[in-house]
Amino acid sequence: MLDKNIIKWLRQGLGVSLFLAFSFYFPVYAEEKSFEKQHPFFEISFLEIPLCPAIAEEKTEDEDSTIEFFEKKQDHELRVFEYYQLCYRESFEQCEWAAYTITTEKLEKNTSRKDNFRVDPKISTGSASLEDYRGSGYDRGHIAPAADFAFDSLAMSETFYMSNMSPQVPAMNRGIWANLEAEGRKWAERYGIVYVVTGPILENKGYKTIGINKVAVPNAYYKIFLSPIVKRNRETDDLFFAAIAAAYIIPNAKGEKHFSEYLCTIREVEKITGIDFFYKLEDDFENKIETESLQKIFIETE
């Protein structure tokens, strides 16, 4: 057995080591958190909302600024909820994208699922109905997932409108898709905030349909994550702004693969969907973010 004096010495040494470690860690952590709040992403309102026919841009006299406004265009209807937004496509009876943010504060679970699926009364052309899915063999798959909104009962309830549903193969919805949804929450835990844009890939023709409203059954779905982060230069010890992004295209089919095998670039999703994601970012940086995959991208600031 170890001598009592040795044990005492070890305990004291460990205590000093921990004290020194925490004394160093907390000021550094506080500095990084303070710097993080100045991240240029936070100056951009609704960064997660993509550019599509439901949203238009108008240049002002200042070429570097724009005025954003919403338009009701045929087959593209913007639906704004308390904590997320979507663009509804009447011809497919589902949304083509849903966009929202997850923060560490929103990870706290304060409510449980009520499964109160219901027609969305604010879709001007009428949303899909519960009857459309009944007996179809497909799940009423969430685009904006209920679990991402468990921090508030109203927030979760609003994810059960049929405008937020799409016909998903049960094994896919409850397996790889659910795991990918959980990955978004891990990003929020890891990075503090994550911007999420997700939806079905709709622009193909010849879809199978279900129900009296002919709800299209997509062949695949996409999900995009973008998080602002702060990095420290090991040589100079300076802090700098950065970001990390990831995109996935998941087949609407039964399968055994992990979602990481479907990792792609944001640009690939844009080409397939025709949607412009994160268009509010500076062009050079947007191009870097959209053509890299899971790489930390440095943000140049003045």
DSSP the chain: ---HHHHHHHHHHHHHHHHHHHHHHHHHHHHHHHHHTT-GGGGSTTTTPPB-TTEEEEE-SSTT-EEEEE--BTTBEEEE-SS-EEEEETTTTEEEEEEEEEEGGGGS---------B--TT-TT----HHHHTTSS-EEEESS-GGGGTT-HHHHHGGGBGGGEEEE-HHHHHTHHHHHHHHHHHHHHHHSEEEEEEEE----SS-EEETTTTEEE-SEEEEEEEEEEEEE-TTT--EEEEEEEEEEEEESS-----GGGGEE-HHHHHHHH--BTTTTS-HHHHHHHHH-SS-PEE----
Q: Which of 25-39, 61-75, 178-192 has the highest mean pLDDT?
A: 178-192
Same domain, yes or no: 187 and 291: yes
Same domain, yes or no: 184 and 92: yes
Same domain, yes or no: 156 and 15: no
Same domain, yes or no: 31 and 160: no
Q: pLDDT of 148-164, one tens digit each?
A: 999 999 999 999 999 99
Predicted confidence at residue 293, as pLDDT, reads 79
User: Is 258 known to be catalytic?
Assistant: no
Same domain, yes or no: 23 and 59: no
CATH number at residue 163: 3.40.570.10
Which of residues 293 and 200 earns the better pLDDT score? 200
What percent of the chain is predicted at pLDDT more than 70? Answer: 78
Predicted confidence at residue 159, as pLDDT, reads 99
Question: How does residue 54 score in pLDDT terms, banded at 50, 70 and 90?
Answer: confident
Same domain, yes or no: 154 and 80: yes
Catalytic residue among 39, 76, 142, 258: 142
Same domain, yes or no: 62 and 7: no
Domain that holds residue 1: 1-36
Predicted confidence at residue 275, as pLDDT, reads 95
Predicted confidence at residue 58, as pLDDT, reads 43
Same domain, yes or no: 30 and 64: no
pTM score of the predicted model: 0.83
Same domain, yes or no: 88 and 26: no
Same domain, yes or no: 258 and 147: yes
115 has a pLDDT exceeding 80? yes
Predicted confidence at residue 266, as pLDDT, reads 96
Overall number of domains in the chain: 2
Region 239-267: mean pLDDT is 93
